[in-house]
Structure 1
């Protein structure tokens, strides 16, 4: 089966959100929180990381909690000011995952169509994409708030396939870090899946990725093996997921 398109998640797949949040949290503490001792600052930053839930926490709820919990430099600081700081500053800390640009360039040189599907707000996700100049590297960008559906619903993957003019979802691969939103979601829409491990623990039940990689650069070798073997059992085995490391849970 031929490969016509490869579609990527954004956060912790093409860009390193965890690294960006750590740098942002330091700036946030410096701006708003009374914490002079280094160990106290480190504890607050770690508390922020956990409360953020890797970006899946409602932002207004998050900043209400932080506002109530921490000692503020200025007691008159409002939750709205903190939210404004988030929307105005976080995207400035966006950094690419190692190898992102090189992999996208190589895939495009091979004639593959490329896309991004990401959950999140139009404003923030567009700002992050533009900060690291990804827009011209792909043919389609689907942001959940712009299409009123989000991963893992299969509809958002179907919209991307339509934009890329891919009639058969089996001719597309989806790359992401989230076992549910990315792997289960893409498989429910009929795409092949590649799990970028190292960011999210595997806690999905009844679903496994087609391929597992530890770095984006491994996509190229998987693609080469897949193409040269024309999807024979031997070729698929070399790139296949290591089932000893990623287990489906039975609970």
Structure 2
């Protein structure tokens, strides 16, 4: 099977959003919230983590809820101030997934086209990408907020294929952690899929990923297997 392009999700795939949010939440509590003692602080951070829903929660809705439910250091703090803190600070905590740049460099050295498709606001996602300097490692970056289409809509995957000049979606693979947005979405557009385990539970019925990995570094071994299989088939023919 020919592999011409590999496209990646961003959050909890190329970057470790869960780690970033934990560090950001510490700073947020320090700035806005009364949380005396480590147990109280830990409880507030866990409250924030659950309310955030791994980034899938509307941000104004999230901070309206936190503003109402948590004890504020300054009663005059507004929801807008909290939102401003999010947009101004969260990207600063962005951390790469282990091996991300090494894997991208190796894939590019093998002649593959590389892309990113991510849901989120254009401002936030671009800021994360630039914070960890991923832009030069890929050929295409599509953010849902910039094209007004969100995963799992197949159209967003089709846009990436067009930018990468991949005529046959069967020659492209998509790597992501979300069973619905990433795996179902990519398959609906005709791409093959690799599920990165460990971040989202598998609750999708009726679909399975073409392959699955526990870390980004496993993609190199996976690609070697694909190349070996393709060479074997070619030799047999």
TM-score strictly above 0.5: yes
The 5 Å alignment of 1:114-193 reads: 114-193=114-193
Distance 1:84 1:16 in 2: 22
Q: Is 2:210 aligned against 1:199?
A: no
User: What SS is found at the alignment partner of 2:129?
Assistant: helix
1:111 is matched with 111
User: What SS is found at the alignment partner of 2:180?
Assistant: helix
User: What SS is found at the alignment partner of 1:115?
Assistant: strand
* Change in CA separation of 1:74 and 1:187 when aligned onto 2, cut-off 3 Å: same
* TM-score scaled by length of structure 1: 0.92
Distance 1:106 1:211 in 2: 19
How well do the aligned residues superpose, as a CA RMSD in angstroms? 1.0
User: What SS is found at the alignment partner of 1:35?
Assistant: coil
User: What SS is found at the alignment partner of 1:215?
Assistant: coil
Task: List structure 1 segments (4+ residues) > 4 angstroms apart after TM superposition.
Answer: none
2:31 is matched with 31
Distance 1:174 1:156 in 2: 12
User: What SS is found at the alignment partner of 1:204?
Assistant: coil
User: What SS is found at the alignment partner of 2:43?
Assistant: helix
Task: Tell me by how many angstroms 1:148 deviates.
Answer: 1.1
Distance 1:195 1:34 in 2: 39
Task: Tell me by how many angstroms 1:225 deviates.
Answer: 0.7
2:214 is matched with 214
Larger RCO, structure (CA 8 Å, separation 6 or more): 2
Distance 1:5 1:157 in 2: 12
Distance 1:135 1:230 in 2: 30
User: What SS is found at the alignment partner of 1:230?
Assistant: helix
2:6 is matched with 6
Distance 2:78 2:72 in 1: 10
2:59 is matched with 59
Task: Tell me by how many angstroms 1:232 deviates.
Answer: 7.1
Task: Tell me by how many angstroms 1:229 deviates.
Answer: 1.3
* TM-score scaled by length of structure 2: 0.97
Q: Which runs of 5+ in 1 are unaligned?
A: 234-251
Q: Deviations over 1:101-143 (max 9, x none)?
A: 0000000000000000000000000000000000000000000
Aligned pair count reads: 233
Distance 2:231 2:214 in 1: 21
Task: Tell me by how many angstroms 1:37 deviates.
Answer: 1.1
2:78 is matched with 78
User: What SS is found at the alignment partner of 2:48?
Assistant: helix
Q: Deviations over 1:61-102 (max 9, x none)?
A: 000000000110001000000000000000000000001000
Q: Is 2:87 aligned against 1:96?
A: no
